Amino acid sequence: MYSVLMATPERLIESTQELLWERGYVGTSPKAIQQRAGVGQGSMYHHFDGKPDLACAALRRSAEQLLSLAEEQFSAPGTAYERIAGYLLRQREVLRGCRIGRMAQDPEVIADPVLRAPVQETFDRLSVRIAEVIEEGRRRGELRPGAAAQELAATVVAVVQGGYVMARAADSEEPFHRAVRGALALLGTQISPQ
């Protein structure tokens, strides 16, 4: 599955990222990680202190990847509305859910402050960045003054995460897309008349 040239820690982190996304923390055993990465137990424990340490590294990597993808839309050319719409409409594996958001529903992750930190930090950073885009749009006259930018940003993040949950519950992407269309309609009411 992995190239022999890929370093062992990288294989372990990538394998853990995938397993956490597929099975959650509880369902991800050290043995499953080792099998997926193609490494032995000694290699895993040589590079990481155990499953929690490896899971934390995998969560941090997933968080950085998610934030990097979001930043591609937030820093793209266009109006604030267009950039946020780009974030909402980008291609996603909707029925797999969010790599980070799924961890918020895992009791062992939420109970452990170290494992929970990357989850909370990701949502905080997303909200702050969306609020910055909204404020920039207001300064440029693209968006009208109104609701606090932080509240609108939290709504956008909640729509994405809630859309994933609704889609998975229905085994259909449509609830996610419906939620996104609703968020875009709400955000559209903030566009300043030209």
Residue 154 located in a structural domain? yes
Total-model pTM? 0.89
**Would you tell me the crossing angle of helices 51-74 and 80-89 to the nearest 10 degrees?**
140
Element (H, E) at 68: helix 51-74
- Going by C-alpha positions, the residue among 88, 95, 124 that lies closest to residue 22 is 95
* Average pLDDT taken over every residue of the chain: 92
- If you write DSSP's letter for every residue of 12-50 in order, what string do you get? HHHHHHHHHHHHTTTT--HHHHHHHHT--HHHHHHHSSS
Determine contact, residues 94/164, Cβ cutoff 8 Å.
yes
50: its two tokens: 């155990």
Residue 1 located in a structural domain? no
Least confident of 19-23, 164-168, 178-182: 19-23
Determine contact, residues 18/36, Cβ cutoff 8 Å.
yes
SS3 call for 191: strand
Residue 74 located in a structural domain? yes
CATH classification of the domain holding 167: 1.10.357.10
Q: For residue 20, what pLDDT is reported?
A: 92
Q: For residue 95, what pLDDT is reported?
A: 95
Residue where the block lists tokens 């956008």: 156
Residue 19 located in a structural domain? no
What span, in angstroms and rounded, lies between the C-alpha atoms of 24 and 102?
A: 7
Domain that holds residue 151: 59-188
Residue 149 located in a structural domain? yes
48 pLDDT tier (thresholds 50, 70, 90): confident
Residue 182 located in a structural domain? yes
What span, in angstroms and rounded, lies between the C-alpha atoms of 60 and 4?
A: 24
Residue 143 located in a structural domain? yes
Q: How many structural domains is the chain composed of?
A: 1
Residue 38 has pLDDT above 90, yes or no: no
Residue 18 located in a structural domain? no
- pLDDT top residue among 136 and 146: 136
